[in-house]
Amino acid sequence: MDFQRFYGGREPYAYQFLGAHPEGHGYTFRVFAPSASRVSLIGEFNGWQEWDLYRIYDGNFWEIHDDDALPGQMYKYRVYTKNGSYTEHCDPYGFGMEKRPAFASILRDMSDYTFEDEEWMKTRTDCICGPLSIYEVHLGSFKKPSDEPDAWYTYEELIPYLIPYVKENGYNYLEFMPLNEYPSDESWGYQSTGLFSPTSRYGTATGLKKLVDACHQAGIGVIMDFVPVHFAVDSYALRQFDGTALYEYPNDAVGVSEWGSCNFMHSRPEVRSFLTSAANYWLTEYHIDGLRMDAISRIIYWQGNEGRGINHIAVDFLKSMNRILKELHPTALLAAEDSTSFPGVTKPVWEGGLGFDYKWDLGWMNDTLNYFRLDPEYRTDNYHKLTFSMMYFYNDRFLLPLSHDEVVHGKATIMQKMNGQYEDKFPQARALYLYMYGHPGKKLNFCGNELGQLREWDEKREPDWDILEYPIHDAFHRFMRDLNLTYQSHPAFYEKDYAPDGFMWLDCHQEARCLYAFERRGGGERLLFLFNFSDETQAKFPLAIDGATSLKLLMHSERDIYGGTLTLDEKEEVKPVRGVYSFTLPRYSAVCYQIKEVPHGSAHEASPCRIPDPASSQKNS
């Protein structure tokens, strides 16, 4: 470890020095506890008897070696304060932990697995110009061996269930909710006690590596939720680790989060190195393809409150960490879950930005879901909830999420949020999703949404897979699968997500009829999207489409195979009459056409995908 970088808050490999590592015979244990008066080691290898560590380097680090320690054995530190009292702690840099409520760290040999994903790692990209359709999943509830709350499949056991399902349904990335160790099942991993420990609920570090490796060999990328904002209050973890506020703020006014957890003190260089090393650890040791960083607004602003001002030191930490991560892993994805309008979230650090690749568009999510909650008679007055997103879209590189946060805690599922009675919810949900996939920006959908589930997500239960026995749910599931596969196979859906010439409104002033029309371009392809979000069939909707000779149907949300009312011939092409197309759109429907052009000298020429600068894109929009 580079101690100068560690004390400068810029060390991404602190985990290779701190923690417990096999060296010669046995393991060497090292811990950072500058204010401790004494640190001792207890574990299975020494009969849980205290062995004192000795100070090394500048006296802030403690070390001991044991020849008899073996992989899989448990250990803890007893950290003594200056008044002689002690607290038993798990290892802050430990690579494994017991299943809650126990908390001993577990010795791991991180070299005991060899990945076989060389081709994936060589060819993966940040997906900015490619398709990115993410299936978000909580590993403990995707599939369960029994109905018992504590019954979970291991990482390896999930491989034959999870990977074929994701492939069959057209997603190309998985996003796992946090896999670090955590004490409370209900926190889903967002309040950590072991930021370097894959949760023992699902097995071991090697098991997680096998799962990620299998995903890569199947052509599926893996993103993991990472929480650099706060940690669990449990006394055995980071809180008051050496008898002082080593990782957290000493002042509760800024040290306690809205969730009652401890906020990391991002102004302390050792904490910066801890978090930067943790992020790098998952990307390096597990070949994770990206990190979605939770609650970034709580780093940007004090306690997430814009009224309290910008936390400039914490913002500087984000820039430093992201810059280091991108230097080490240029093709890894860094996504910010941030609901603020703070500028430059996805702008490179060297240009003054925070250095993320993507930002969750929570404004789009809220406006869209609120629109679909409305009775159709009120959608006229709220028509521009669905056009507003394109007013700011090129400020950042946005990702469109319908995540776990939208289907818990009394918010209702996506399907339930649709206005009206049971039968009316399905056509609206199909239209919503075609709108989402047609809209610029990468996509994220939470496990169970694709079933049209009507029960909120519960971390203790599987999704209601059995509802696919009902034809209307099975048809919706088929629609979601076909939508993903269509998205993946047509570059106009994704190639120019962040280039202003990849999107164009054709008609966004049909307030009285709740009609919308836009065009997407990319890869030498043009796609037309039409939407009728009213509860009445809308006939004679005219559109003049520059350079188009005919339209080929790609997706129609009202096809009978999706639970709709129309039997359609996919091969039939729509032709204009005197240069104008006229459409009849059923109630609550969405359509996607491929635009056929005049060959040679058409209005649209193919252009290569270039990664745009969000700021310059905004200037040109």
The set of residues, in sequence order, having a beta carbon less than 8 Å from that of 456 and lying 6+ positions away, is: 407, 408, 409, 410, 411, 412, 413
Q: Indicate the burial class of 405 (C-beta count within 10 angstroms; 0-12, 13-18, 19 or more).
A: middle
Q: Which residues pair with 543 in a beta bridge?
A: 581
Q: Which residues pair with 550 in a beta bridge?
A: 596
Question: Over 50: is that where the pLDDT of 97 sits?
Answer: yes
pLDDT band at residue 369, thresholds of 50, 70 and 90? very high
Mean pLDDT of 308-321: 96
Count Cβ atoms below 10 Å from residue 67 Cβ, excluding itself: 10
Question: Over 70: is that where the pLDDT of 118 sits?
Answer: yes
CATH superfamily for 3-106 is Immunoglobulins (2.60.40.10)
Nearest to 415 by CA among 465, 453, 471, 470: 453
Tens-place pLDDT, residues 209-253: 999 999 999 999 999 999 999 999 999 999 999 999 999 999 988
In contact, 153 and 143? CB cutoff 8 Å: yes
CA atoms of 606 and 96, how far apart (whole Å): 51
pLDDT band at residue 610, thresholds of 50, 70 and 90? low
Element (H, E) at 7: helix 3-7
CA atoms of 96 and 180, how far apart (whole Å): 9
Phi, psi of 291 (to 5 degrees): -125, 130
Residue 270 appears among annotated catalytic residues? no
Tens-place pLDDT, residues 151-183: 999 999 999 999 999 999 999 999 999 999 999
CA atoms of 247 and 265, how far apart (whole Å): 6
In contact, 226 and 178? CB cutoff 8 Å: yes
Considering only 130-134, 220-224, 304-308, 549-553, which range has the smallest mean pLDDT?
A: 304-308
Q: Which residues pair with 518 in a beta bridge?
A: 505, 529
Tens-place pLDDT, residues 331-350: 999 999 999 999 999 999 99
What pLDDT is stored for residue 598 in this prediction?
80
pLDDT band at residue 457, thresholds of 50, 70 and 90? very high
Mean pLDDT of 502-527: 97
Portion of the chain with pLDDT greater than 70, in percent: 96
CATH superfamily for 500-620 is Golgi alpha-mannosidase II (2.60.40.1180)
What pLDDT is stored for residue 308 in this prediction?
92
Amino acid sitting at position 492: A
Identify the residue whose tokens are 């996607």.
592
Question: Over 80: is that where the pLDDT of 545 sits?
Answer: yes
* DSSP strands (E only) in 314-397: 333-336, 358-360
Residue 175 appears among annotated catalytic residues? no
Q: Indicate the burial class of 568 (C-beta count within 10 angstroms; 0-12, 13-18, 19 or more).
A: middle
Query: What six digits make up the tokens of 18?
Result: 């701190």
Average pLDDT score over the chain: 95
pLDDT band at residue 384, thresholds of 50, 70 and 90? very high
Give the angle 392-396-402 at the CA atoms, nearest 5°.
85
Question: Over 70: is that where the pLDDT of 616 sits?
Answer: no
Question: Over 80: is that where the pLDDT of 306 sits?
Answer: yes
What pLDDT is stored for residue 613 in this prediction?
53
3 state DSSP class of 437: helix
What pLDDT is stored for residue 608 in this prediction?
59
Domain boundaries, the chain: 3-106, 134-493, 500-620
* DSSP strands (E only) in 169-269: 173-176, 180-181, 194-198, 221-226, 230-231, 262-263
Query: What six digits make up the tokens of 306?
Result: 């814009």
Kindly report the pTM of this predicted structure. Answer: 0.95
> How many angstroms separate the Cα of 566 from the Cα of each of 49, 427, 559, 563?
74, 12, 5, 9
Select 134-493's CATH number: 3.30.1050.10, 1.10.760.10, 3.40.50.300, 3.20.20.80: 3.20.20.80
Amino acid sitting at position 503: F
What pLDDT is stored for residue 253 in this prediction?
87
What pLDDT is stored for residue 600 in this prediction?
56
Give the total residue count for the chain: 621
Q: Which residues pair with 574 in a beta bridge?
A: 551
How many Cα atoms are found within 13 Å in the side-chain-facing hemisphere of 394? Answer: 19
Query: What six digits make up the tokens of 419?
Result: 């206005």
* Chain center to CA of 143: 20
What pLDDT is stored for residue 523 in this prediction?
95
Question: Over 50: is that where the pLDDT of 617 sits?
Answer: no
Portion of the chain with pLDDT greater than 90, in percent: 92
Please tell me which residue in 337, 357, 497, 519 is annotated as part of the active site.
337
What pLDDT is stored for residue 609 in this prediction?
61
Please tell me which residue in 225, 234, 285, 294 is annotated as part of the active site.
294
Question: Over 90: is that where the pLDDT of 607 sits?
Answer: no
Tens-place pLDDT, residues 242-298: 999 999 999 988 899 999 999 999 999 999 999 999 999 999 999 999 999 999 999
What pLDDT is stored for residue 621 in this prediction?
36
Q: Which residues pair with 65 in a beta bridge?
A: 28
Mean pLDDT of 449-460: 97
What pLDDT is stored for residue 603 in this prediction?
45
What pLDDT is stored for residue 571 in this prediction?
77
Q: Fold match between 3-106 and 134-493?
A: no
Give the angle 580-585-590 at the CA atoms, nearest 5°.
105
Question: Over 70: is that where the pLDDT of 575 sits?
Answer: yes
